[in-house]
Chains A and B, each alone.
Chain A
Amino acid sequence: MKTDGSVSQVAIPEEILQRIESRGINRRDFIKFCMATTAALALPVTFVPKVAQALEDNRTPVIWLEFQSCSGDSEAFLRANQPTATELILDLISLEYAEVVMAAAGHLAEEAKHQALEKYHGKYILIVEGAIPTKDDGAYCTIAGQSAVASLKQAVAGAAATIAVGSCATSGGLPAAAPNPSGAASVSEIVPGATVVNLPGCPVNATNLTATIVHVLTFGKLPATDRLGRPLFAYGKRIHDNCERRGHFDAGQYAETFGDEAHRKGYCLYKLGCKGPETFHNCPTVRYNEGVSWPVMAGHGCIGCSEPGFWDTMSPFYRRLPKVPGFGIEDTADKIGIGLAAATAAAFAVHGVASCFRKGNPKDESKVIKED
Chain B
Amino acid sequence: MAKKIVVDPITRIEGHLRIEAEVEGGKITNAWSSSTAFRGIETILKGRDPRDAHHFTQRFCGVCTTVHSMASIRAVEDALKIQVPDNARLIRNLIMGMQGVQDHVIHFYHLHALDWVDITSALKADPAKTSQIAQSISDWPKSSTDYFRQVQARIKAFAETGRLGPFQNAYWGHSAYKLEPEVNLIGLAHYLEALEAQKDMIKVHAILGSKNPHPQTFLVGGMSIPVDPDSQNAINADKIAWIRKLLRNARTFVEQVYIPDLLAVAPAYLDWAGIGGGVGNFLACGDFPTDNSPGTDSLFFPRGIIMGKDLANVMEMDETKITEYVTNSWYTYSNGDDKGLHPYEGETNDKYTGPKPPYEFLDTDSKYSWVKSPRYLDQPMEVGPLARVLVAYASGVPEVKAAVDYVLKTLNAPAAALFSTLGRTAARGVDALILAQKNELWLDQLADNMGRGILEVHNPEKWDPATWPKEARGFGYHEAPRGALGHWIRIEDQKIANYQAVVPSTWNAGPRDAHGQMGPYEAALIGTPIADPEKPVEILRTIHSFDPCLACAVHVLDGQGTEIVKVKIL
Contacts and interface: CB of A to CB of B under 8 A. Distances in A.
Residue with the greatest number of chain A CB neighbours at <10 A, chosen from B6, B110, B217, B566: B566
B225 interface: yes
Contact of A101 (B65, B166, B169, B458): B166
Given A315-B566, A316-B48, A266 B231 contact: yes
B195 interface: yes
A112 B170 CA distance: 10
A112 B168 contact: yes
A111 B211 CA distance: 36
Interface in A313-360: 313, 315-322, 343-344, 347-348, 351, 353, 356
Contact of B195 (A86, A133, A317): A86
A102 B11 CA distance: 7
Interface range for B: 35 or more
B170 A179 contact: no
B535 interface: yes
Contact of A24 (B153, B214, B559): B153
A167 B165 CA distance: 26
Interface range for A: 35 or more
Contacts of B63: 70-72, 74-75, 100
Contact of A177 (B37, B44, B155, B563): B44
B8 A298 contact: no
Interface in B72-92: none
A351 B166 contact: no
Contact of A317 (B55, B114, B209, B210): B55
Interface string B541-555: 000000000010000
Interface in A279-299: 287-290, 292-299
Contacts of A263: 226
Given A145-B357, A146-B357, A319-B569, A288 B212 contact: yes
A94 interface: yes
Nearest to B49: A316
Interface string B61-74: 11101000000000
B31 to A, nearest CB: 14
Interface stretch (B129-137, B198-206, B289-297, B440-448): B198-206
B62 A73 contact: yes
Contacts of B62: 69-76, 203
A42 interface: no
Contact of B38 (A110, A137, A182, A322): A182
Interface stretch (B12-20, B338-346, B472-480, B502-510): B12-20
Contact of B7 (A70, A106, A317): A106
A290 B199 CA distance: 9
Contacts of A90: 154-155, 158, 165
Contacts of A69: 62, 551
B356 interface: yes
Given A103-B166, A298-B216, A316-B51, A292 B203 contact: yes
Interface in A162-177: 174-175, 177
A95 interface: yes
The 4 closest A-B pairs by CB, nearest first: A72-B62, A266-B233, A181-B40, A24-B154
Given A174-B59, A317-B51, 10 more contacts: A70-B60, A71-B15, A75-B62, A131-B39, A147-B358, A175-B44, A181-B557, A288-B211, A289-B205, A290-B203
Interface of B: 6-16, 36-41, 43-44, 48-49, 51-52, 55-56, 59-63, 65, 106, 110, 114, 119, 150, 153-155, 157-158, 161, 163, 165-171, 192, 195-196, 198-199, 202-203, 205-217, 219, 222, 224-228, 231-234, 350, 352, 354-360, 455-458, 460, 463, 535-536, 540, 551, 557, 559, 562-570
